[in-house]
């Protein structure tokens, strides 16, 4: 029997990952990590896309599908086989990042340590950490697939308009009943919010860094999906939980010979 060193079950590597090459498939939508257009350019998006090549044997795979293969280096950085570069986080999304010289003050949006990716086989979550932060700032973040609702149609708009009209007839505004409308609970100004501390670098995180399990619609026919980094929190719906779970599919160097003689 011959087995590849990329066999995840027997040879775990850095940060809970398997040794060697692998693909990452989201359990919520079935799509895999994919370097958009197969480009190696700095800043290229890493997206979710349907599986291009089903074979797990490296020598039998179509090289054009190598943009869906990744590996973890010794520093815990997630790297693309096709691009030959590591994955960074920019604006809450994953991108290909070329190594850059250190510039001061360090770290900054151009020059900073690459994020470290960890995998938890227990709950199948991908945890992202940002080196260089204090322990108090180092809040674990997780990677989640973003659902995409199908585009609105004319009939959707008509239905909502009719519903809104019916609601207006039944429920009169508070102003017409003589009752005062509640005032906003927040009195923060734009300057207050601009001066507030934000622990993580703004070029790395999206403005919306929390995850909601209320809207689970993911019925858009478009093949591509996106990912983002969010704060870890408890989820209740099964659909939302599955969007945070990832299957690691190890790539084998050669066929596995079984007792039946079949690869």
Beta bridge partners of 88: 95
pLDDT tens, residue by residue, 6-45: 344 445 678 999 999 999 999 999 999 999 999 999 999 9
User: In this model, does residue 164 exceed pLDDT 70?
Assistant: no
Reported as type and span, the H/E element at residue 168 is helix 154-170
E-strand ranges in the chain read 22-26, 32-35, 46-49, 70-72, 78-80, 86-90, 93-97, 116-120, 125-129, 141-146, 226-231, 246-250
Q: What tens digit of pLDDT does each residue of 126-162 get?
A: 999 998 765 555 677 999 999 998 886 655 565 566 6
Q: What is the pTM of this model?
A: 0.72
Q: What's residue 19's pLDDT?
A: 92
Instruction: Tell me the two tokens of residue 187.
Output: 């009195």
State whether residue 221 is helix, strand or coil.
coil
Q: What is the mean pLDDT of the chain?
A: 78
Length of the chain: 263
Between 5 and 179, the more confident residue is: 179
Per-residue pLDDT, 66: 98
**Domain 14-150+198-250, what architecture?**
Trefoil (2.80)
Structure-model confidence comparison of residues 192 and 249, the more confident one: 249
In the chain, where are the structural domains located?
14-150+198-250
Query: What is the spatial distance between Cα 128 and Cα 142, in angstroms, rounded to a whole number?
Result: 6
């Amino acid at each position: 029997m011959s087995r590849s060193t990329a066999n995840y079950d027997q040879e775990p590597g850095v940060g809970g990952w398997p040794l060697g090459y692998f693909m990452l498939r989201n359990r919520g939508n079935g799509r895999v990590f994919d370097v958009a257009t197969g480009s190696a350019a700095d800043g290229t998006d890493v997206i979710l896309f349907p599986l291009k090549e089903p074979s797990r044997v490296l020598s039998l795979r179509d090289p054009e599908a190598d943009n869906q293969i990744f590996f973890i280096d010794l520093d815990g950085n997630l790297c693309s086989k096709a691009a030959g570069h590591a994955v960074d986080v920019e604006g809450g999304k994953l991108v290909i990042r070329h190594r850059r010289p250190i510039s001061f003050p360090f770290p900054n949006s151009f020059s900073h340590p690459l994020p470290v990716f960890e995998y938890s086989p227990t709950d199948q979550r991908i945890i992202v950490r940002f080196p260089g932060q204090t322990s108090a700032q180092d809040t674990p973040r997780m990677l989640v697939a973003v659902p995409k609702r199908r585009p609105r149609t004319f009939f959707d708009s008509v239905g909502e308009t009719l519903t809104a009209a019916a609601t207006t007839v039944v429920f009169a505004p508070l102003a017409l009943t003589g009752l005062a409308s509640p005032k906003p609970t927040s009195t923060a100004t734009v300057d207050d919010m601009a001066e507030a501390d934000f622990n993580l670098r703004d070029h790395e995180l999206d403005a919306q860094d929390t995850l909601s399990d209320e809207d689970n619609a993911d019925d858009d026919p478009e093949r591509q999906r996106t990912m983002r980094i969010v704060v870890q929190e408890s989820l209740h719906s099964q659909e939302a939980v599955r969007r945070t779970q990832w299957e690691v599919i190890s790539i084998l160097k050669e066929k596995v010979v079984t007792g039946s003689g079949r690869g």
